[in-house]
Each structure stands twice: as structure tokens, then as C-alpha cells.
Amino acid sequence: MRTRLSRAVRNNGGVARVVIEHLSKVFTGPRGENIHAVVDASLSVEDKEFVVLVGPSGCGKTTTLRLISGLEEASSGAISIDGQVVSDLAPRDRNIAMVFQNYALYPHMSVYENMAFGLKVRNHPRAEINKRVKEAAEILDLLPCLDRKPSALSGGQRQRVAVGRAIVRQPKVFLFDEPLSNLDANLRLQMRAEISRLHTRLAATMIYVTHDQAEAMTLGQRIVVMKQGIIQQVADPLHLYHCPANRFVAGFIGSRPMNFFHGALARKGNGFFFEEQPANGAVASRSISLRVDERMAQRLNGYLGKAVVFGIRPENIACNHYQDDALSEQKVEAIVQAIEPLGAETYLHLASGAHSFIARTCGTSRVSANHKLSLVFDMASAHFFDPTTEKTIV
């Protein structure tokens, strides 16, 4: 059955490629002011691709999804699905299916009736409706629940019903608007895996919105990072993590944010060094001085003597349990302020110079608050940003 339903979704209407071009949405605020929710967004989602829109609250990701679905009218720009411009089409005529955050199930209907409802109002034959609902229920492990009402289901089961209602439509495109945000942590992990498997089985085009960057990293083949209505970067998860386009992306992507240090680049002897400086111009009792990796030095040459922002992820800072003179230009002395033991790993909140930062160590490390540590910064994994534009230098 799963093969038949997957084939039906794949063959429904050809190539489900979604293209948005210079899309903008302006709302009118309470005092008549313009609120720019989406600003000149352009994006191509390829056939069978799983793309995730991610960003903080108010960044425009849900508005973008609603513009694609037709639930919001664009202020400017164009949307096409399968090569057809759909900007002026009603939602029901765009051949999309949307899964909402709040499930949106009819409480007086059974699971079967909820999943079948959209097909009934479109006058599909009863035999076809029954076939599609049973096939979708088998995929989602809902066959034992078909006669139950939503009130008799768990949160995860209700979300699967909402997904099943979308599957039976056999749409060109699936749209997910933060579908897991109402579930507890363990259930979110389970449903995340189920949605990923569902994409593989159906081979369908999916666009997914979330504020959870870990969810975005594990689900998306490509991720669209948004801030204040503007697309900041579009890339696959690993490229996004290792090569962020700007400081916002670098700080947003990562289960613990990237550490940032304000300072300037200076030459000492035959090397480049990052010299820490307080961001507010205050004087620090001591400052961090780190030798820049030689492979990065050439690209940073134009910033010699200028202000920069130095970034490094917690996993690229290691406790130095041995003395090695070769690493002396990468060492930092810091005081432990707080400890987060998570079993396999421990996060240390540290203070040194003018900044506080986080380092990740193995779970067997034994440290205590107010303990002084010697740390080694992996400068080959460092990032540098322009403090004015916030764009990545290297």
C-alpha cells in the first residue's frame, strides 16, 4: 500500500517545483505604519526537496509559508508551482496541503472522518476516499485509531491525523507550519524522525517552518535562515554550520551559540594576532590574545589594525590538560562560572578578559565553579566578521 500511495503522490501533477520571486508582504500596523513581514524574498524549492524555513519569532517564516499557500495575499512578487503562476489563485486551487501547529481537527468527527473530510467536499468517490484514508493510516500507524475522536488521542497521534489529512489529498506540495511545537521534547524527537521517513516514502516536495534550529538541521535538505523578513542564507545544514554568511546565521545555528569576541587584528613578529577589546570601550583587567591561523591570515590582511568580531564554537575550545609550548599562542586562562552536565558532554560557562563564553567538554570532565582552567582555542576553526556589516570575512 505504501508504494501505491507514494507513487500516487509523485505522479500527481508532474514536477512540484516551487519558485518565489521578489516576494514581499507589508501589513498595516495599529497606528497606520507599514510593517514589512517579508522583504524581497526569492527562493527555488526543487521537486521532491525538503526545505526548512527557520528563524526567531517575527522573522517572516510563517508569513512566507502562508503566502505560498494563498492564506495571505502578497504585496508584491510572484509565486509559481509546477511552472504555473499561482499568485492570484485561491488556496484550494493551488494543489497544496498544509499542516498547522494546532492540528485543526474537527472534535466531533472520528479520525477517519477528519482524514476523509477534504476529499468528501471535493466529491471524490467513496471507494477512492476509503482507499486513500486506509493507505495513509497504515503509513502513520493510525489504523487502530480510525474510529476514535481526537479527544481520545495523544498529542502525537493528533499530529499524525493532521499529517494524514494532508497525505490523502495527494498534493503537489506539503506545507508544515511549526507542527511539533505543541509536543513534549521526547515526542518532538519521535515525530521529527517520522516526518523525515515520510518525506523519503512519499518523495514529495515539502516546505517546513520552525523556530527550532536543531529541528531545521535534522530535517532539512536545505535550510532558509530568515531575520526581520529577509532571507539571510540558503544552504544545506553542514554548509550553514561551517560556513555562515554572517554573524546572525553563525549565532543562530548551533545547539549552543557561537562565542563572539570583539577586538582588532595586529601583527606580532611574523604572525597575525586577534587582540581582544571590550565592545563598550571599557578597560579589561586582562585581555585575550590569540594567533590567527596562517591559512586565514592572507584573507584578513585588509583588516590589519581594524576592528573585527572573532567567533568560535564551544566544541572548538578544549580544556588543556597538558603543557605544550606549541599551543601557547592559542591558550586562554578562564574562570568557570557555571556548569551544565548533560551526560555525554558538559558545557562550561567561562569568563576571561572582557567576555564570557561557553566551551564544550566530554561528560567525564570534573570541574567546579570558580575553578581556573587553561583552555586551547582551535584557531583553524575560527570565524571573523566585519563589525559594521556583520558579514563573514573568513
Residues 6+ apart with CB under 8 A from 128: 119
pLDDT digit string (tens) for 70-98? 999 999 999 999 999 999 999 999 999 99
pLDDT digit string (tens) for 209-263? 999 999 999 999 999 999 999 999 999 999 999 999 999 999 999 988 999 999 9
Judge if 2-252 and 259-385 fold alike in CATH terms: no
Query: Which residue from 36, 165, 74 is spatially nearest to 113, judged by alpha carbons?
Result: 165
347 close to 256: Cβ distance less than 8 angstroms? yes
Q: What is the mean pLDDT of residues 188-192?
A: 90
Q: Is residue 325 scored above 90 in pLDDT?
A: no
Distance CA 284, CA 33 (A): 43
Q: Which of 17-21, 36-40, 115-119, 266-270 is predicted with the least confidence, judged by mean pLDDT? A: 266-270
Of residues 269 and 30, which shows the higher confidence score? 30
Q: Is the dihedral of CA 143, 148, 154, 155 positive or negative?
A: positive
Q: Is residue 274 scored above 60 in pLDDT?
A: yes
Q: Using 50, 70 and 90 to split pLDDT, how confident is the model at 367?
A: confident
Q: Is residue 284 scored above 90 in pLDDT?
A: no
Strands 372-377 and 317-319: antiparallel
Q: What is the mean pLDDT of residues 321-344?
A: 82
Largest CA distance in the chain: 82
Q: Which three cell numbers stand for residue 273?
A: 594576532
25 close to 63: Cβ distance less than 8 angstroms? yes
Give pLDDT, residue 327: 73
Q: Which three cell numbers stand for residue 234?
A: 540558503
Q: Using 50, 70 and 90 to split pLDDT, how confident is the model at 11?
A: very low
Percent of the chain whose pLDDT exceeds 90 = 79
User: Which residues in 287-308 are b (16+ Cβ under 10 Å) and which e?
Assistant: bbbbbbbeebbeebeebeeeeb
Q: Using 50, 70 and 90 to split pLDDT, how confident is the model at 292?
A: very high
Give pLDDT, residue 61: 98
Rg of the chain (C-alpha set):
25
Distance CA 134, CA 142 (A): 9
pLDDT digit string (tens) for 55-75? 999 999 999 999 999 999 999
Of residues 15 and 199, which shows the higher confidence score? 199
Give pLDDT, residue 223: 98
Q: What is the mean pLDDT of residues 151-180?
A: 94
303 close to 296: Cβ distance less than 8 angstroms? no
Q: Is residue 355 scored above 80 in pLDDT?
A: yes
DSSP bridge partners of 119: none
Q: What is the mean pLDDT of residues 165-183?
A: 93
Q: Is residue 324 scored above 50 in pLDDT?
A: yes
Give pLDDT, residue 103: 83
Q: Is residue 5 scored above 60 in pLDDT?
A: no
Q: Is residue 341 scored above 60 in pLDDT?
A: yes
Residue located via cell numbers 515520510: 198
Distance CA 58, CA 268 (A): 45
Q: Is the dihedral of CA 201, 204, 209, 214 positive or negative?
A: positive
Q: What is the mean pLDDT of residues 128-147?
A: 95
Percent of the chain whose pLDDT exceeds 70 = 92
Residues 6+ apart with CB under 8 A from 146: 110, 111, 112, 133, 137
| 259-385 under CATH 2.40.50.140, yes or no | yes
Q: Is residue 3 scored above 80 in pLDDT?
A: no
Q: What is the mean pLDDT of residues 277-283?
A: 65
User: Which residues in 364-374 are b (16+ Cβ under 10 Å) and which e?
Assistant: ebebeeeeebe
Residue type, 336: V
Q: How many CB atoms lie within 10 A of CB 22?
A: 12
DSSP bridge partners of 50: 206
Give pLDDT, residue 13: 46
Give pLDDT, residue 364: 73
254 close to 262: Cβ distance less than 8 angstroms? no
What global pTM score does this model have? Answer: 0.91
Q: What is the mean pLDDT of residues 129-148?
A: 95
- What homologous superfamily does CATH list for 2-252? P-loop containing nucleotide triphosphate hydrolases (3.40.50.300)
The rounded mean pLDDT for the chain is 91
Give pLDDT, residue 182: 85
Domain boundaries, the chain: 2-252, 259-385
Strands 289-291 and 271-276: antiparallel
Distance CA 356, CA 314 (A): 12
